[in-house]
Chains A and B, each alone.
Chain A
Amino acid sequence: MRRILLSTAALIALTYGSAAQANTTIELQRFFGACDADYGNVTDVSSAVGECGIITALINKFEADNPDINVNVTTVEWPGYDQLNAQLASGAAPDVVSMHYSAISDYQSRGLIEPIDEVLASQGISPDSFTDAARGGVTKEGQIFGLPFDNWTMLFHVNLNLMKEAGLLNADGTPILPTSADELIAQGKQFKEKTGKPYLVQILANETASYARILYTLLQQQKADFFADPTKIKLNTPEAKAAVELIKRTKDEGITTLGLDYAAAVSAFANGDGGISVNGTWLIGDYVAQAEKAGTALSGGYTVYPVPQLFPAQDSTYADGHSWVMPKKDRSPEQTAAIAKLFKFLAENDFQWARTGHLPAVKTVFDMPEFKSLPHRENIAEIAETGRSLPAAVQRQFAIQDIIGDEIGAAVNGDKSIEDALSGAESRINDLLANI
């Protein structure tokens, strides 16, 4: 009996001891997918690949380095704002949430997230350590509302094996990319004729984001100030018409894949079903990994470039970014300190995140030899200058994106005239913004 009592006491003491060691818990909610089966126990971040793998390994490493902090991760379906809204409405928000720069103004203007200037200062993180684009993305009314993690854009992911077949390679092995709208169509036709496959792999079904990002890019390249007033969009313009006409021409001339949603478009390019995938920075790491494998459609034949300048006014690409924000809620000083430590860790490891293909948010990463030696980064470095986002004061950017995707998709698929689609998009967006 005495032995049983002693053993029980020892067990309780042990349990209490380990609980006391991991005594601060923070709830982290993020998108980027779930991959615990592959990376659930990985703490060697350098061995992880892709957004999901790297962020999972980063959190594992942080927990291993800080045994007194427990990070409870909840993975949400991209972009996860519906779930966050419900949590905020019911007073059950997590401590740290992944958020696009383009969504921050919605939450900041409603007082739902906290400024983190002091949190950053407590760990000696200077706002000046971030790139202008990253700092601009998280700064609202002079305060910082999120830890910037990256900048991303849409890119031209190129299958060099098919481009060679199409006769679209320079002597040095780099792809011949279009420098105007007409060249895009001409090269697309040449590609189709030589390979029998579509030149572009685009997400034209079941998704709205892709249409909006390409439209913004083509409008920026024409220097169209379509959000001169952040509460009103102007889309009944010759520039918008020219942009949609170009997207539609890629369909009408038969040089693009049709009917592919996001997942199908990602795998179609990996399977060699088209020459150039118009998709985001986040796929670079995955496609590079496939190109390094023998026997895949991309083996030894993958590269990536910014969306080329197709209109003469200026070189520009629509850019956004990911950040980590703190929803407004009661926290203990220990939890706030733990979050500050986590932010410092993520900022210090921004290079690891940049391996996904995203552009770093921390300036010094650009100068790291490891970053410079990452494949294809020199091709896309210019995005640091050419990447542009929507004006920071524009609210409901995700809802706007949905409307644009709806209407432009209808025009591209021939269900509406381009003029009707642009008028429809303009009136729907302005109704939305007028009723905030």
Chain B
Amino acid sequence: MAKTYRRSQWSHGLFILPYLSAFALLLVFPLFWGIWLSLHKVDLFGPGRFVGLANYVRVFADPVFLQALRNTIVFVIVSVPSLVALGLFLALALNRTTRATSFFRGLFFSSSVLSVTIVTLIWRFVFIPGDGLMSVIFKHLGAEPIHFLSTSGWSLFSIGVATVWWCLGLPMMLFLAALQQIPADLYEAAALDNASPWRVLTRITLPSIARTIMLVTIIQIVMQFQLFGQAQLMTNGGPNGTSRPLVMYIYEVGFVRWDIGKGAAASQILFLIILCAAMAQYVVSTRKTEN
């Protein structure tokens, strides 16, 4: 019986071969190629020369990289909890089957289907000085308009607002799907026990969707570490590099300065950071579930 079982496992493996081939070709191979490039002094147009870990040394000695790393971490720390909290709030508010909630679900999800170009164009209209919406509101209130896109601090904040608005749809939908999986009899039992709404939320709803909260958090950490388009189009990383994320640094070094080796080294560091962040989140959540 055991022998038959083992043999069937091998043949089953063939079914995943097409996917495995695509995975190896499009993800594993580029990953190792990236590591190989990071050990070379190389541009886009020809073979390079082996330099060992020199590119990594140069990356860590580059104050612009360290600033971009700091910006990215701050952005993730602020935007991911915002996305999780707002997504959960909207899902809880819209977890009913009425016409109005269906409309609002569609409305809140609609921003997710837009391209980054459209999203940044819309938020540029909001934040740009002069004729921008915020500027008009500030003037109407008699206050001095803030230059959101060209003031340190505000520029990263503006990118964060645009990002949360753009990315909110997916967390909301995932939370809605999870909420609808909670058995109704748990809520009925709580109602019989006369539990308060807060108690229902903290003792039934949140524990029931804990795995989804973890999933959304990991997805968002991975996504937000890869911030690029919004920063490139809204602030170009400025002012003074205060809104330059890591991916933009990699793009500038690799494609504008043709220093592919250094760009690849920075990419590997970003890969490790994302991997560690996602794994840490996973380990913490798994331990909690086991306890």
Contacts and interface: CB of A to CB of B under 8 A. Distances in A.
Contacts of A264: 128-130
Contacts of A384: none
A409 B239 contact: yes
A60 interface: no
Given A85-B258, A264-B129, A259 B149 contact: yes
B258 A396 contact: yes
Contacts of A154: none
A82 B253 CA distance: 12
A268 interface: yes
A206 interface: yes
Nearest to B243: A206
A205 B150 contact: yes
Interface stretch (B173-181, B230-238, B267-275, B280-288): B230-238
Contacts of A204: 150
30 contacts: A85-B44, A86-B255, A88-B44, A88-B45, A89-B45, A112-B45, A205-B150, A205-B235, A206-B234, A206-B235, A206-B238, A207-B236, A258-B150, A259-B128, A259-B147, A261-B128, A273-B130, A398-B256, A399-B252, A399-B256, A399-B257, A402-B256, A406-B240, A409-B238, A410-B239, A413-B152, A415-B240, A428-B64, A431-B62, A435-B41
A413 B64 contact: no
A283 B255 CA distance: 29
Interface string B217-251: 00000000000000000111111111000000001
A258 B129 contact: yes
A229 to B, nearest CB: 19
B226 to A, nearest CB: 18
A82 B150 contact: no
Contacts of B151: 259, 413
Interface in A10-36: none
B150 A206 contact: yes
Contacts of A207: 236
A208 interface: yes
Chain B contact residues: over half helix, strand or loop, or mixed? loop
Contacts of A273: 130
A3 interface: no
Interface string B41-68: 1011100000000000010001010000
Contacts of B235: 205-206
B149 A206 contact: yes
A416 interface: yes
Nearest to A207: B236
A88 B43 CA distance: 12
A260 interface: yes
A113 to B, nearest CB: 12
Contacts of A86: 44, 255
A301 B58 CA distance: 54
Contact of B150 (A89, A106, A259): A259
B285 to A, nearest CB: 39
Given A273-B130, A399-B257, A413-B150, A110 B45 contact: yes
Contacts of B147: 205, 258-259
Top 4 A-B pairs ranked by shortest CB distance? A259-B147, A410-B240, A205-B150, A259-B129
Contacts of A168: none
A205 B256 contact: no
Given A82-B251, A268-B130, 20 more contacts: A81-B256, A86-B255, A88-B45, A106-B258, A110-B45, A205-B235, A205-B238, A206-B150, A207-B236, A259-B147, A259-B149, A260-B130, A264-B130, A273-B130, A399-B252, A407-B240, A410-B239, A413-B239, A415-B239, A435-B259
A431 to B, nearest CB: 8
Contacts of A393: none
Contacts of A89: 44-45
Contacts of A110: 43, 45
B240 A416 contact: yes
A82 B258 CA distance: 10
Given A205-B147, A205-B150, A208-B236, A402 B252 contact: yes
Contacts of A82: 251, 255-256
A242 interface: no
A432 interface: yes
A367 B103 CA distance: 67
Contacts of B128: 259-261, 264
A86, A268, A399, A435: most-surrounded residue (chain B CB, <10 A): A435
Nearest to A410: B240
Interface in B122-175: 128-130, 147, 149-152
Contacts of B251: 82
B257 A432 contact: yes
A431 B130 CA distance: 38
Contacts of B259: 432, 435
Contact of B240 (A81, A112, A409, A428): A409
Nearest to A432: B257
A406 B256 contact: no
A126 B44 CA distance: 34
Nearest to A88: B45
A406 B241 contact: yes
Nearest to B145: A259
B44 A205 contact: no
